[in-house]
Amino acid sequence: MNCEQYQELISAFLDNDLDESAFINVQSHLAVCAHCAKMCEDCAMILDLCSEDLLQDSLPPNSKALWCRINNIIENQVKAELAQPETAPNKTKQGWLSQVWNNSWRFSLSQVLTSILGIALISSLLTIIGFKNYSASADNVAVNASSSVFEKVLSKIGIAETTQEKRERYIKQQQATIDYWKKRVEVRRANWDNHLRDAFDRNLNEINQVVVEYDKILQENPQDEISNDMLDSAMTEKVELLREFSEL
């Protein structure tokens, strides 16, 4: 038998699975062949290690030590709870909202008084603004009808456009429209006969008188609802007159 054949039998030799003659035969070869003997040693070491791991895994945990550790943990927790003040247990029972309340909403007397004064001041200001707007709107229902209370408050503060500013803007727009149609009429006017020209001038003059009349009233009393309405109406009529005559 050569070394290769002996090496194949090493495993069975270590496990003691060989018959007596084969066992003696391998044993005598290992005694003379250093290479195969070394290999046999290595295999034996591997087998030893494996048998050690298996032994460790199969060992039950140290139950005594484990229970000891658990007891220690529980005892520590109980001791810590007993050491805390009486309010502390409530903290754990109450929700986060009440925790925030307890922590953040504790005011001093001066803070409370300042808050009350602040609320009173803001509500009085709002009431004054409300009253002013109400009394103004009693005379000027139509003009203010479109603006909400919120808009009024904003305009009082200066964030939004006031009713007066809105009106001025509207009048400017109307005036621009009138100027445009006036130019158109000037171009077309040369084609009109005298009769048409006279009628146009007469009617435009009538409307202009109305505009001047209400403009004057509104300079004295800008909040006069009826005069505002009449001025709007007259300006619309003027635009209509100019537009329709410019089509001739």
Partner 1 sequence: MNLKLKVLFNFFADKKTTILLLSVVFFFVSAAPPDVFAQKKFSRSYPASKNVSLKLTNRSGTVTVEGWERDEVRISASMEAPAANMTPQNLSGTIYINLVKDNQGRKEVGYVNFRINVPYNSSVNIETMMGNLNVSNVRGALVRAHITSEGDITLTNISAGAVSAENVIGDIFFDGDIQSDGTYRFTSTRGSINIRIPFGSSFRLVATAPSTRRISLGPFSNQGLNFGDGRRVFGKVGGGSATLTVTNQRGSISFISR
Interface residues with partner 1 (CB under 8 A)?
191-193, 195-196, 199-200, 202-203, 206-207, 209-210, 213, 226-227, 229-230, 233-234, 237, 240-241, 244-245, 247-248
Q: Closest separation between CB of residue 244 and partner 1, Å?
A: 4
Which amino acid is present at 83? A
Of 220 and 247, CB closest to partner 1: 247
The token pair that represents 226 in the structure block: 């009826």
Q: What is the CB neighbour count within 10 angstroms for residue 102?
A: 13
Of 72 and 208, CB closest to partner 1: 208
Of 165 and 186, CB closest to partner 1: 186
In this structure, what DSSP letter does residue 194 have?
H
Q: Closest separation between CB of residue 152 and partner 1, Å?
A: 23
Residue 206 in contact with residue 190, Cβ under 8 Å?
no
H helices of the chain, in order, are 3-8, 10-14, 20-32, 34-57, 63-83, 87-93, 96-104, 109-139, 141-144, 149-157, 163-188, 194-220, 225-246
Give the whole-angstrom CA distance, residue 235 versus residue 171.
Answer: 9
List phi, psi (to 5°) of 140: -135, 55
Maximum pairwise Cα distance, the chain: 152
Of 171 and 211, CB closest to partner 1: 211
Q: Closest separation between CB of residue 189 and partner 1, Å?
A: 11
Of 36 and 241, CB closest to partner 1: 241
Q: Closest separation between CB of residue 180 and partner 1, Å?
A: 18
Q: How far is CA 30 from CA 2, 38, 42, 74, 170, in A?
A: 12, 9, 13, 61, 119
Residues 6+ apart with CB under 8 A from 141: 225
Of 81 and 206, CB closest to partner 1: 206
Q: Closest separation between CB of residue 220 and partner 1, Å?
A: 14
Q: Closest separation between CB of residue 101 and partner 1, Å?
A: 55
